[in-house]
Amino acid sequence: MSSSPKAFVQVAAIIGLPEALRRAGCNPEKICEAVGLQPAALRDPDASIPLHAYLNLMDLAARSGSDGCLGLHFGASYDPGDYGALGFVALNSPTVGAGLLNVGRYLGVMRDHCRVMLEVENRLARVRYRLAAGSVSLRRQDAEMALARMCRGMRLVLGEDWAPRQVHFEHPAPPDATPHREVFRTEVRFGQAINAMIFDQEVLDIEIPSADGRLLRILEGFLEEELSRRRADPDLVQRVRRQVLDALGSGVPGIAEVASSAGMSIRTLQRRLGEQGLTYNKLVDDLRHELSLQYLEAREVSISEIAFLLGYSEASAFDRAFRRRSGVSPLEFRRKLGDAAQPA
């Protein structure tokens, strides 16, 4: 299982999702609870949610609601203003190609573990999208949202009649690909090696009429600072998480023990974690909750065993901690997972 400290999605990247869930016939509160999120988590654009929770949420909503193409339709309704500085830096880049390069450069501000890459070969441009986490089936809604969103953004510059030459997806073809052809207005291929949108190379040189060079420099400066902040000493967080993870079976190590192992004082460790928006207690709490969600998916592991693995003194302490984060007991969460997996 992954223990990466940076597997996140900033809520600003999926702003408007609760409304999209309702349009798809889903109850946002129930869907959030089913994947271990507080419903309020999707209403704060400055907050971040675990990547695995986001992927599970999108997959569960698509399977249990009335729209199996939830991600596709959510991406097609994209408005640059919804994406904050990242959306505006793309629209204020001098050319379409520069805008796509800027999206690839600064995407890590909003989302980790995903990449946008621009390639040119044989007079064709190819924008690749890759999420380096989760199974192909879990990545489907995210991939369709990402490419539909990029297509929508390019139409804002090139006109509503613009269409790529082809669109490729990694995941298998759905029972009905009509919605995909309607959104992209071109050939859509499934089961491909990559997720990509392919179009004529000349499109990259088209100037963006609304681009404001001064605003672009301000936005780039802001996003560069955000990237630097997020990348500040990620190895420290990784080391701390690993030490806590290794010790959980015997209980949570104290901050003094962890600071000593890292070769620094308690105050220095607190300051270094604070630079990344963390406290030691939050790091431990996040790690325990992340692991608990993964353990609960493995039905052969009992609730009492999970409590022990996470370093709780007794199952009731685990129950209270899980309720505080998820709003339901571990047993109720496991039951909801089982119910959600049943065909409608």
Residue 39 and residue 127 in one domain: yes
User: Which residue, of 207, 228, 249, is where some domain finishes?
Assistant: 228
Structure-token match 């620094």, residue found: 264
Number of Cβ within 10 Å of residue 232's Cβ equals 12
What 3-state class would DSSP assign to 38?
Answer: coil
Q: Is 3 within a domain?
A: no
The model carries a pTM of 0.68
Residue 197 and residue 326 in one domain: no
Q: Which pLDDT does position 37 carry in this prediction? A: 87
Q: Are 293 and 53 in contact (CB under 8 A)?
A: yes
The span from the CA of 89 to the CA of 87, in Å, is 6
What is the per-residue pLDDT across 235-279, written as a single tens digit (0 to 9) for each?
Answer: 788 888 888 887 887 789 999 988 887 778 898 888 888 877 789
Q: Is 35 within a domain?
A: yes
Give me the number of domains the chain comprises. Answer: 2
User: Which residue, of 171, 204, 228, is where some domain finishes?
Assistant: 228
Write the DSSP string, 246-310. HHGGG-PPPHHHHHHHTTS-HHHHHHHHHTTT--HHHHHHHHHHHHHHHHHH-TTS-HHHHHHHT
List CB contacts of 160: < 8 A, sequence separation 6 or more.
Answer: none
List CB contacts of 4: < 8 A, sequence separation 6 or more.
Answer: 113, 238
The CATH number given to whatever domain includes residue 173 is 3.90.1520
User: Which residue, of 228, 252, 277, is where some domain finishes?
Assistant: 228
The span from the CA of 302 to the CA of 295, in Å, is 9
Residue range of the domain that includes 271: 233-341
What is the per-residue pLDDT across 84-93, written as a single tens digit (0 to 9) for each?
Answer: 788 899 999 9
Average pLDDT value for the chain: 88
Residue 200 and residue 62 in one domain: yes
Task: Please name which of 113, 153, 108, 110 lies closest in space to residue 12, comparing C-alpha atoms.
Answer: 110
Q: Is 259 within a domain?
A: yes
